[in-house]
Amino acid sequence: MTKIIKMNSFDFEENELKEASKILKNNGTVVFPTETVYGLGANGLNEIAIKKIYNAKGRPSDNPLILHINKLEKMSEICYIDYSLLKKIKILTPGPITFVLNKKDIVPDAATGGRKTVAIRIPVHPIANKLLKMTDLPIAAPSANLSGKPSPTRPEHVIEDMNNRVDMIITAEELKYGIESTVLDLSNDVPTILRPGPIPPEKLEEIFGSIKIPDFVFGKVKADIALAPGMKYKHYSPDIPVILIEEKNNIEDEKKIILDEYKKRSNSIVLGYEELEEFYKKNNLNYEIISKRFEYYKISVKLFYLLRKYDKISENIIISGIKDKGIGIGIMNRIRKASTIIR
């Protein structure tokens, strides 16, 4: 039986997290909100607790986990890091970014899939951060979806995937970003982006100088040849086909392709932008407006929610792309990886 509690991120008492913290200390599992997506947490230093995560998700156990801590000072307990790097990391934490560093022996192989490195994140979400403080443990927490599904960003989705698979689920109001954290590998000489996310490359370059952005970051390389460990597996995808229409310089070209794809199929939903609403209406398309096309943060908040919503009620999702800029890189990475057809 899973205990489900609802909390208010901006108005809660420490008391409300006592039971959750106790469960984690006793090597149980707790799903909790973060500023990116919901996380499925367990004691990251205990192999039995970590196994429970893989079981609950149905995830292959060589896929490494992120260890979550509440403050920078705890980083050197689990990884090797020098002062100059710590100063740079400090600028971005707490927040929606994960750093890969050389691990210390205290971190079990079960958490890293046998790697010499460990991924570490300090979430800023008040519930996540307070819970981490109370447990005083590095908490391993992948996104709280069943393996293969898009990460959950809403209470109904987290409950759908994790009810009766974990000891406790904590839900809260809308999460700030809605896509997973940026993953930056700092274990080599050149900082390398392994997963694009809310903290964009431009910001990382400002702080770390020159960084490497491998091609797969854009989501264009198919999963089996990608380099980052988690990217071996198909991620984020609804069960129904997702057809991505990339943003075109000429909007008329884009409209033609949308119509072409729409007419080929039945029971499709078009996920698009206010700027195109007249066109959707005129052509009698079944559509939902995500936001304006340049409102990237609004798009990221709704993306996984909409993919999951229409997975249940439509037969196809036709979605328009945005530019590979800022958080748009992270958004497009997720959409491309979820897509069956890209035009």
Binding site for ligand TXA (CB under 6 A): 34, 36-37, 39, 64-66, 98, 100, 112, 115, 117-119, 121, 141-143, 180-181, 183, 194-195, 228-230
CB of 144 to Mg ion, least distance (A): 9
**CA separation, residue 245 to residues 37, 67, 114, 172, 192 (Å):** 25, 36, 39, 33, 28
Residue with Cβ nearer ligand TXA (194 or 331): 194
CB of 50 to ligand TXA, least distance (A): 12
How far apart CA 254 and CA 275 sit, in angstroms, is 13
How far apart CA 157 and CA 162 sit, in angstroms, is 8
Torsion over CA: 67, 72, 76, 77 (sign): negative
CB of 64 to ligand TXA, least distance (A): 3
CB of 62 to ligand TXA, least distance (A): 10
Question: In which element (H, E) is residue 234 found?
Answer: none
Residue with Cβ nearer Mg ion (135 or 143): 143
CB of 33 to Mg ion, least distance (A): 15
Select from Mg ion, ligand TXA, none the partner in contact with residue 183, using the beta carbon and a kind-dependent cut-off of 5 to 8 Å: ligand TXA
How far apart CA 300 and CA 46 sit, in angstroms, is 33
Residue with Cβ nearer ligand TXA (148 or 241): 148
Please give the backbone phi and psi of residue 337, each rounded to the nearest 5 degrees, phi first: -70, -20
Cβ-Cβ contacts under 8 Å for 160 (sequence gap 6 or more): 152
Residue showing tokens 């990237």: 296
Select from ligand TXA, Mg ion, none the partner in contact with residue 195, using the beta carbon and a kind-dependent cut-off of 5 to 8 Å: ligand TXA
Indicate the residue type of 322: I
Strands in the chain per DSSP E? 3-6, 30-32, 39-43, 66-68, 97-102, 117-121, 139-140, 168-171, 182-185, 192-195, 242-245, 268-273, 287-291, 316-320, 341-342
Select from ligand TXA, Mg ion, none the partner in contact with residue 182, using the beta carbon and a kind-dependent cut-off of 5 to 8 Å: none
CB of 200 to ligand TXA, least distance (A): 15
How far apart CA 307 and CA 303 sit, in angstroms, is 6
Q: Tell me how many residues contact Mg ion (CB under 5 A).
A: 1
| Joined tokens for residue 206 | 């400002």
Select from ligand TXA, Mg ion, none the partner in contact with residue 117, using the beta carbon and a kind-dependent cut-off of 5 to 8 Å: ligand TXA
Q: Which burial class, exposed, middle or buried, applies to 125 when counting CB atoms under 10 A from its CB (0-12, 13-18, 19+)?
A: buried
Residue with Cβ nearer Mg ion (98 or 143): 143
Residue with Cβ nearer ligand TXA (142 or 321): 142
Residue with Cβ nearer ligand TXA (196 or 229): 229
Residue with Cβ nearer Mg ion (70 or 143): 143
Residue with Cβ nearer ligand TXA (128 or 258): 128
Select from ligand TXA, Mg ion, none the partner in contact with residue 34, using the beta carbon and a kind-dependent cut-off of 5 to 8 Å: ligand TXA
Select from ligand TXA, Mg ion, none the partner in contact with residue 66, using the beta carbon and a kind-dependent cut-off of 5 to 8 Å: ligand TXA
How far apart CA 55 and CA 254 sit, in angstroms, is 43
Cβ-Cβ contacts under 8 Å for 261 (sequence gap 6 or more): 243, 245, 268, 318, 341, 343
Question: Which residues 133-152 are close enough to bind Mg ion by CB under 5 A?
Answer: 143
Interface with Mg ion includes 316 (CB under 5 A)?
no
Interface with Mg ion includes 153 (CB under 5 A)?
no
Instruction: Name the residues that contact Mg ion, by CB under 5 A.
Output: 143
